[in-house]
């Protein structure tokens, strides 16, 4: 069950107190798809990312993909909620993948809404 999205950075910080993490994970690891919430930059301000990270194989079970699918980031903002969906060419999502994904989002300075593809599977596996 996915929790209600969080939009307020201070609310996220309150929920993180005592967790020893800088994100709220809503699923058990390892998995093929996980939902989490974390803070990060977007267009010059700190926002709460309501995120889904999944393997390309898990994504392909519900979406059409090319023979050599690319990894992707899909960002959308609706009613003050910042959603980010990340599809990766990995076997499973574990804590290391979660942390690397958050670092990627936090370090990328020009995030924008929409779907952005990169790194075909044949080049990343």
What integer pLDDT is reported at residue 35 of this predicted model?
A: 96
pTM: 0.90
What are the backbone dihedrals phi and psi of residue 16, each rounded to the nearest 5 degrees, phi first? -85, -15
83 domain-assigned = yes
119 domain-assigned = yes
1 domain-assigned = no
| DSSP state for residue 29 in the 8-state scheme | S
pLDDT digits (tens, 9 = 90+) for 41-91: 999 999 999 999 999 999 999 988 877 788 999 999 999 999 999 999 999
2 domain-assigned = no
- Rounded (10°) CA dihedral 23, 101, 4, 33: -120
How many domains are there within the chain? 1
115 domain-assigned = yes
Q: What range does the domain containing 59 cover?
A: 9-124
């Amino acid at each position: 069950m996915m929790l209600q999205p969080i939009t307020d950075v201070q609310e996220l910080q309150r929920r993180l107190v005592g967790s020893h993490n800088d994100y709220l994970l809503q699923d058990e690891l390892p998995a093929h798809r996980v939902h989490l919430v974390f803070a990060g930059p977007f267009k010059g301000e700190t926002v709460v990312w309501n995120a889904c990270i999944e393997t390309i194989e898990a994504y392909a079970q519900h979406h059409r993909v090319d023979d050599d699918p690319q990894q992707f980031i899909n960002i959308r903002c609706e009613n003050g909620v910042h959603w980010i969906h990340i599809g990766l060419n990995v076997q499973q999502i574990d804590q290391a993948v979660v942390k690397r994904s958050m670092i990627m989002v936090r370090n990328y300075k020009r995030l924008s809404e929409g779907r952005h593809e990169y790194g075909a599977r044949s080049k990343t596996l």
